[in-house]
Structure 1
Amino acid sequence: MSRIDDLIAELCPEGVEHRGLGDFGEFVRGNGLQKSDLRDSGFGAIHYGQVHTIYGVWASETRSFVTEELARKLRKARTGDLVIATTSEDDAAVAKAVAWVGEGEVAVSGDAYIYRHSLEPKYVAYFFQSEQFQSQKTRHITGTKVRRISGDSLAKIRIPAPPLAVQREIVTVLDTFTKLEAELEAELEAELEARRRQYKYYRDALLTFGERTDADASKQASKHKTNDDG
């Protein structure tokens, strides 16, 4: 943290200003992409549902694609843009965001916004996970069963905006923690899987008994009768 503190002291000695996200860019709604349109190859695409389920803070490759023909009709995120899922049944998941840091453009579905901005992409994506962002967005969420937030509302949310050098240093630190968390999760999952196999082995071993035949039963009964006669 001392490196970040030093940069803040040097580059913004009067403190870090907070401004609305709309001051740094614009929110463009995705369009026309349905889940049924997704393919295993073609033009890269991000469906808003995938932002909730398979993407983390940032992505350099897409998991799904669309045909080149469909891609020509769709709005696209450029390198550095955020893709924001704007609907959910859960308030906590509304406005979950992934920074697109891959090469070229990717098609984006409706129920998602593209945030095209001048900030450090990962910095903004990490901010979207912060308590500071969550507490601000709550007052802008609307809807009953399906909860949503508009681009105009997102533009009003204030973000701390230190110089880019500070933003990048913060990203370096947070990326380190994210990588460590992923490694720990993988280790824990491997350990859990080993425990599952161990449990299955002992469960089956403890609950498996050799099946006794009628001949075995007769032999055992005869043995008991002989012992009783003795």
Structure 2
Amino acid sequence: MSRIDDLVKQHAPEGVKFVEIADLFVTKNGYTPPRGDASAWTEGTVPWFRMDDIRENGQVLDDSIQHVAMTAVKGGRLFPANSIIVATSATIGEHALITVPHLANQRFTSLAIRPKYQDQVDIKFVFYYCFVLDEWCKKNTTVSSFASVDMAGFKKFRFPVPPLEVQREIVRVLDAFTELEAELEAELEARRVQYAHYRNQMLSFQESRHE
């Protein structure tokens, strides 16, 4: 942490500013085009993200499992590339960075950096800080037919906006840890396969043909 602390002292000697979600981001609710409208789901080209995309493909995504037609997009406006979708109902505590123009279903709220902050915020830093937001969301829910996040409180949640030098160093460090974790998981999976092979080999016996 000393490297980060030194950068903060150097570039933000008076401390790091915090900005509420409502001021930092344009927020939009996801939605599902009518299932009864066949044209909305035929030969779709617009990525439409659901929780299944995160579960199957991770949290940095450039395509979705399902797509919708451009004619099904409300007002013809997609959620912009390099924005975050945060689960604010049902399965709460998940988010993803989407690197292409897209839509998401109603379980998600989209966070797109406002123009006035575009040159002050690294979206990958936002992605990592959203793990903190996820924990806040899980602790601030209301329950009716299904759990949902307190959206009034959500919009007041405050993001730190340290200098870009600090953000980029944090991203560099966390990216390195993420890559290491992926390598370790791959190694662990290889060991599991190896273990299963030798286990099955050692426990494989031929039945005696002699009574």
Task: Note the C-alpha offset of 1:134.
Answer: 5.0
In the other structure, the counterpart of 2:65 is 64
In the other structure, the counterpart of 1:79 is 81
Q: TM-score, normalised by structure 2?
A: 0.80
In the other structure, the counterpart of 2:196 is 196
In the other structure, the counterpart of 2:50 is 47
Larger radius of gyration: 1
In the other structure, the counterpart of 2:22 is 22
- Structure 1: any 5+ residue segments left out of the alignment? 218-230
In the alignment, is residue 113 of structure 1 matched against residue 116 of structure 2?
no
Asked if 2 retains the 8 angstrom alpha-carbon contact of 1:137 and 1:157, the reply is no
Asked if 1 retains the 8 angstrom alpha-carbon contact of 2:93 and 2:134, the reply is no
1:31-76 deviation line (CA, Å, top 9, x unaligned) = 125899879973322124433x1343422x2142414345534763
Structure 2 CA distance, aligned partners of 1:75 and 1:107? 9
Task: Note the C-alpha offset of 1:145.
Answer: 6.1
In the other structure, the counterpart of 2:156 is 156
Asked if 2 retains the 8 angstrom alpha-carbon contact of 1:58 and 1:122, the reply is no
Asked if 2 retains the 8 angstrom alpha-carbon contact of 1:49 and 1:85, the reply is no
Asked if 2 retains the 8 angstrom alpha-carbon contact of 1:16 and 1:161, the reply is yes
Structure 1 CA distance, aligned partners of 2:72 and 2:163? 35
Structure 2 vs 1, CA of residues 27 and 198 (structure 1 numbering), >3 Å: closer, same or farther? same
Asked if 1 retains the 8 angstrom alpha-carbon contact of 2:95 and 2:134, the reply is no
RMSD of Structure 2 on Structure 1 (CA) = 2.9
Of 111, 125, 128, the residue aligned with 2:127 is 125
Structure 1 CA distance, aligned partners of 2:196 and 2:65? 32
Structure 2 vs 1, CA of residues 189 and 195 (structure 1 numbering), >3 Å: closer, same or farther? same
In the other structure, the counterpart of 2:208 is 210
What percentage of aligned pairs have identical amino acids?
25
1:203-225 deviation line (CA, Å, top 9, x unaligned) = 223xx31333xxxx5xxxxxxxx
1:141-194 deviation line (CA, Å, top 9, x unaligned) = 111562211543321112222122211221111011011101100110011011
Moved more, 41-50 or 156-165: 41-50
Asked if 1 retains the 8 angstrom alpha-carbon contact of 2:53 and 2:65, the reply is no
One-letter code of the match for 1:123?
F
Q: TM-score, normalised by structure 1?
A: 0.74
Structure 2 CA distance, aligned partners of 1:169 and 1:105? 27
Asked if 2 retains the 8 angstrom alpha-carbon contact of 1:26 and 1:155, the reply is no
Q: Secondary structure at the match of 1:114?
A: strand
In the alignment, is residue 147 of structure 1 matched against residue 147 of structure 2?
yes
- Structure 2: any 5+ residue segments left out of the alignment? none
Task: Note the C-alpha offset of 1:199.
Answer: 1.0
Structure 2 vs 1, CA of residues 95 and 154 (structure 1 numbering), >3 Å: closer, same or farther? farther
Aligned residues between the structures: 201
In the other structure, the counterpart of 1:223 is none
